[in-house]
Amino acid sequence: MPLADQVSALLRAVAAQVVLPRFRALASHEVTTKTAGEIVTVVDREAELRLHDGLAAIGLGARIIGEEAAEQDPALLDGAGEGLVWLIDPLDGTANFASGREPFGMMIALVEDGVPIEGWMLDPLSGRLCQAARGKGATVDGAPVRARPTGAARPRAALGTHFLARDRRERVHAEAELHLDIVPVPRCAAASYPRLALGEDDIALFQRILPWDHAAGALFLSEAGGRITHWDRSSYRVGGAGIGVLAAASEDLWEQAATVLLGPDAGLIELECPAS
């Protein structure tokens, strides 16, 4: 069975057996706080173990880094941009899931020397599967997809600024609102990237870029014809020195967004200065 099909089948099996049975059925003791403002559920941990074992059984010999394992042992991220690496986000949008609301998703990426080469994003509720392979394009449920703008009068932008300090967040939004139509963020990268490709959003901005959150989506968007870079305009890379990411459904939309969000008035580029 081709690699893409093996990983797809693995995701769907874990979604059916671990994730969906617990949606809106979590007991209070199955949700705990792992860091300030961040929760984890028994589903995150069980799904990651199942996905880890399934990927190991495929036999590529790649390192496997899962979100929850890295939370317990941050050293797992050392050298994440070197060699062949599987990245697992077993339940993206955990807060949504634990609250009994959508969206949430599951993501796996295969990365070689920091460059995503294969990616999968599954929406367990709808069954929608977004896939991409480097140089081979992107698909949704097996059908090729090309990113398309919303066509709105002003570009629709979802700004993931909730991890910024309040004064910086207010500065970014004040500048953005002069030029863009600000829309709510889904708090789920597995939903954010498909929205850019499927004509629902035009622009997405993220400050925090944990690799399991973005590798699959970055590849999917790029292969669909969109553009994603770090804030310094360098190519997206796992394990690199880049800060944040700016993503858009097209090159033109990315340029519009960069003029607004990466210009001096928004202040984001100041975060790249060690003295800031």
Q: What is the dihedral of CA 113, 189, 132, 244, to 10 degrees?
A: -40
Distance of CA 185 to the CA centre of its chain: 12
CATH label, 156-272, candidates 3.40.50.720, 3.40.190.80, 3.30.460.80, 3.30.70.260 = 3.40.190.80
Tell me whether residue 89 is annotated as binding.
yes
- Give the number of other Cβ atoms within 10 Å of residue 98's Cβ: 21
Helix residue ranges, H only, the chain: 3-14, 42-58, 67-72, 94-98, 166-176, 189-197, 211-223, 251-261
Of 149, 132, 153, 130, give the one whose Cα is nearest residue 140: 130
| Per-residue pLDDT at 276 | 29
| Per-residue pLDDT at 275 | 35
Q: What DSSP designation does 61 have?
A: -
Architecture field, domain 3-144: 2-Layer Sandwich (3.30)
| Per-residue pLDDT at 205 | 97
Cα distance between residue 81 and residue 88, in whole Å: 15
| Per-residue pLDDT at 273 | 44
CB 147 within 8 A of CB 197: yes
Cα distance between residue 202 and residue 92, in whole Å: 21
Q: Distances in Å between the alpha carbon of 253 and those of 28, 45, 178, 250?
A: 43, 38, 16, 5
Q: What is the mean pLDDT of residues 195-201?
A: 98
Cα distance between residue 100 and residue 220, in whole Å: 27
Tell me whether residue 91 is annotated as binding.
yes
| Per-residue pLDDT at 162 | 87
| Per-residue pLDDT at 1 | 87
pTM beyond cutoff 0.75? yes
Band of pLDDT at residue 79, cut at 50, 70 and 90: very high
Tell me whether residue 252 is annotated as binding.
no
Q: What is the mean pLDDT of the chain?
A: 95
CB 85 within 8 A of CB 111: yes
CB 267 within 8 A of CB 213: no
Q: What is the mean pLDDT of residues 240-268?
A: 94
Residue ranges per domain, the chain? Answer: 3-144, 156-272
CB 117 within 8 A of CB 133: yes
Give the amino acid at 223.
E
CB 205 within 8 A of CB 196: no
Least confident of 42-46, 144-148, 169-173: 169-173
Which residues have C-beta within 8 Å of that of residue 47, sequence separation ≥ 6?
14, 18, 19, 90, 91, 106
Q: For 117-165, what is each residue's pLDDT tens digit?
A: 999 999 999 999 999 999 999 999 999 999 999 999 999 999 999 888 8
Tell me whether residue 67 is annotated as binding.
yes
Cα distance between residue 34 and residue 31, in whole Å: 10
